[in-house]
Amino acid sequence: MIDELQAIADQAHAHWSVITGTPRLVVRRENAVFKVETNHGTAALRVHRKGYHNQAEIESELQWMAHLAQCGIVVPQPFATNGGPFLAQVQDHDGESVIVDLLSWLEGDPLGNAGKPLSQPEQRITSLFFTIGAKLAKLHMASDAWAIPADFKRHALDRDGLVGERPAWGRFWDAACLTSDEQQLMRQTREHTATFLDGFSRTPLDYGLIHADLVPENILINGSHVSFIDFDDAGYGFRSFDLAVALSKHRAEPAYAAIRRSLISGYRSERHYTSEDERAIDVFIAMRDLALLGWVDERSSEPETAARVPRVRAAALASAQWLLNQ
């Protein structure tokens, strides 16, 4: 599989003449990301997973990122192909089309790694989360100010996208790793959670374009500067979902309460954030756990994902029980 991905990445030079080096695989998650040198410095070459996003959806993601960069928000910027578009289609060994794109490489170290404690002192951690909150608020404001193109296509993490018949990240209540009793628990949780979301509709929460995947690996730290990468899961959603994801991997941290306060304070330093939005954070943290179960279930045949199933399953079951008790 690695050799096949490399063969796909090696075709990119035909579409981006700025590429001067050989692509080197650095991470394989939802997409395969290669590091490659160009005439304009280091870049990230993404080989997109087949069947996740179509061409229109990926073009929309890149348009949004280009807009954010124009607003002064440091995010990866897409390179246009030789022909002008932001992406290209190449052929795999079966002759099927695979979408690739080229983004500027951002310097910095990940905030952390999922499943591992943060290594920074508490004062440094809380300071970083204040900055993360402020940057996230600016991202949301820039998104609201954008005249979204008529052909813009991204998924929505609304009621249907989270607990509908075909949620964006999979039917978590049908996950194969669950027993029949656990699947029944998840179905009850799904119905209960839908009621929560209906209530949010009556008391509208802030909603718009969100990153949707601010896990520690997607937050880069470079001195006092914070930047966000990997907009592959970005789309429409509740703004509190973005804050929830940023917090979800840190619940076991001794300084979690301070982390949560700092993130919200940073957000409020740049943008209005209601008490109703804040109260929704814990619900969305739990819902993120459920969504992640659906995501890993659809990819459980892949070795990298299969290793995560026990941890994701345990977190989802705990969150389902918490939701039912609300």
CA gap 107, 202 in Å, rounded: 43
For residue 124, the model assigns a pLDDT of: 96
Q: How confident is the model at residue 230 (pLDDT cuts 50, 70, 90)?
A: very high
- High-pLDDT (> 70) share of the chain, %: 99
Indicate the pLDDT class of residue 106, thresholds 50, 70 and 90: very high
Q: 116 versus 316: which is more confidently predicted?
A: 316
pTM of the model: 0.95
- Give the H/E segment covering residue 189: helix 180-202
Confidence category of residue 126, pLDDT binned at 50, 70, 90: very high
Q: What is the DSSP letter of 205?
A: P
Whether pLDDT at 111 is above 90: yes
Query: For residue 21, what pLDDT band results from cuts at 50, 70 and 90?
Result: very high
pLDDT of residue 239: 97
For helices 281-298 and 309-324, what crossing angle results, to 10°? 140
Residue 2: the pLDDT is 77
Mean of the per-residue pLDDT values of the chain = 94
Task: Find the distance separating the first CA and the last CA of the chain, reported in whole Å.
Answer: 45
Q: What is the pLDDT of residues 67-86, one digit of tens each?
A: 999 999 999 999 999 998 99
**Which of 26-30, 200-204, 288-292 shows the highest mean pLDDT?**
288-292
Phi, psi of 51 (to 5 degrees): 90, -5
Question: In the predicted model, is pLDDT for residue 171 greater than 90?
Answer: yes
pLDDT of 114 strictly over 80:
no
Residue 198's pLDDT band (cuts 50, 70, 90): confident
Sheet-wide strand order for 219-222: 109-110, 219-222, 225-228
Q: Is pLDDT of 154 > 80?
A: yes
Task: Report pLDDT for 202.
Answer: 67
Q: Which of 27, 98, 52, 5 is nearest to 299 (CA)?
A: 52
Extract the runs of DSSP E, i.e. beta strands, from the chain.
24-28, 32-38, 41-47, 87-91, 97-104, 109-110, 156-157, 207-210, 219-222, 225-228, 235-238
User: Is 96 a residue whose pLDDT tops 80?
Assistant: yes
**Predicted pLDDT of residue 303:** 78
